[in-house]
Structure 1
Amino acid sequence: MSGRITSCALTARENIRAAIEAKAMICVYGQAGGSFAVNASLRELAPKLTRRIRFRARPSTRDLRHELFHALGLQGRLPSHAIEFDRMLRGALEHVLVCDEV
């Protein structure tokens, strides 16, 4: 079993590395241990680009936007309209975005 976990962790790390290099989006899902593999990979591959955000149970889209605004250190006022907010976040998200336990 430990060989399988190691293999999965290595696969996750290589896929995350490829996504970072391509500035692409990636979805990692699977059995137990996936969160550990993703977190370990991000600590190794992108420690200065990684921001940890905790949300309350059942966050709204508004909660997600506000937490990302603050975690990314975006300047200025919070946009008042969702479309403006989303445009700002898309421009700022040159990072890997991981949502765990979605």
Structure 2
Amino acid sequence: MPAEEDDEDWPPLYDEKEFDEFVNRLVAMEQPRAFALVAELGVRADAQVIGWGLQFAEHVDVALTDGRTRLSFSTLDRVVRVLSSRGTVRVVYLPVDPLPDD
């Protein structure tokens, strides 16, 4: 988090519309990739969503659907390796909405 400073120490560099565009692009560039973790049951017989996650640039956070388990890993490969100990686990990325063209 940036250090707290008075707003007067930071003169505006953008008008309101330009700043909105700047913030939207910043968020789009830094947004984590959202994904589901899906366990394959049998050999392509059925499937179950077992968790949801966010993949950041430096780490991955996962919440399992059991409502109790939260995990953090350095890579998505490690998540899959740990959760695949009892069977096949797939990563399914959620679609990303493109930036509006305004």
**What is the TM-score normalised by the length of structure 2?**
0.25
Rg larger for? 2
Q: Going by fraction, where is strand more abundant, 1 or 2? A: 2
**What is the TM-score normalised by the length of structure 1?**
0.25
Q: Going by fraction, where is helix more abundant, 1 or 2? A: 1
Greater RCO structure (CA 8 Å; 6+ sep): 1
